[in-house]
Amino acid sequence: AQKVTQAQTEISVVEKEDVTLDCVYETRDTTYYLFWYKQPPSGELVFLIRRNSFDEQNEISGRYSWNFQKSTSSFNFTITASQVVDSAVYFCALATSSGNTPLVFGKGTRLSVIA
Amino acid sequence: SQTIHQWPATLVQPVGSPLSLECTVEGTSNPNLYWYRQAAGRGLQLLFYSVGIGQISSEVPQNLSASRPQDRQFILSSKKLLLSDSGFYLCAWSGQSGRKNIQYFGAGTRLSVL
């Protein structure tokens, strides 16, 4: 069975602080994909990143960075110098290699950035 | 470029009334299509997904049904709504090649059953 755990239900930080959102996954597949999505107050889910199981390189995109560690089955997401616009619910998700199976989502972490 | 449309954006319906939510995708062919529900303050629950016309997989037995009458059209229906059907409904699509398992979401429909 596949599972994604986002243990942090809600996080609140002051603007310009760094914040890390945790994601731990479970799967027996050797090939899989991990995702992060952002859900702003408007409700639409916005795709942020996809990472496959063979690529453990960390990725940085502006103030966003992702740390993938197979040894701990984690795919954590860090926002540097957080801004009020980063306030949203963030979802981590997992998919198998087949491509036709739906994503398995974590329950999400609500991030509030206070000015 | 590909776009996904969902309507209506907001809906208020009485208990026992029927429901029809529509989702269409433009700019791609033979997409995988998905319906999710998100209850207030909760995570995403996959309701249905489809890999082709007339092919529907149901994840959760419930009061809802889905249909795919055309390649890029996905409809969520109910004959009689329950209070527990209230929530935020999201449609999503993913492609058949390339970055094929990335799901792209519509803007959602907020359904209130009273």
Question: pLDDT of B29-64, one tens digit each?
Answer: 899 999 999 987 778 989 999 999 989 998 876 789
Residue A98 predicted with pLDDT over 90: no
**B48/A102 Cα distance (integer angstroms):** 9
Contact check, Cβ <8 Å, B103/A47:
yes
B-chain residues within 8 Å CB-CB of A107? 42-43
Closest chain A C-alpha to B102 CA, distance in angstroms: 7
Q: What is the mean pLDDT of residues B58-77?
A: 91
Token pair of A7 as six digits: 């243990």
Query: Lowest-confidence range among A7-11, A14-18, A92-96, B72-76?
Result: A92-96
CB B48 within 8 A of CB B34: yes
Tell how many helices (H) and how many strands (E) occur in chain B: 0, 11
**B68/B51 Cα distance (integer angstroms):** 10
pLDDT band for A64, please (50, 70, 90 cuts).
very high
Residues of chain B whose beta carbon is less than 8 angstroms from a beta carbon of chain A are 32, 34, 42-44, 46, 49, 51, 59, 88, 90, 92, 94, 96, 99-108, 110
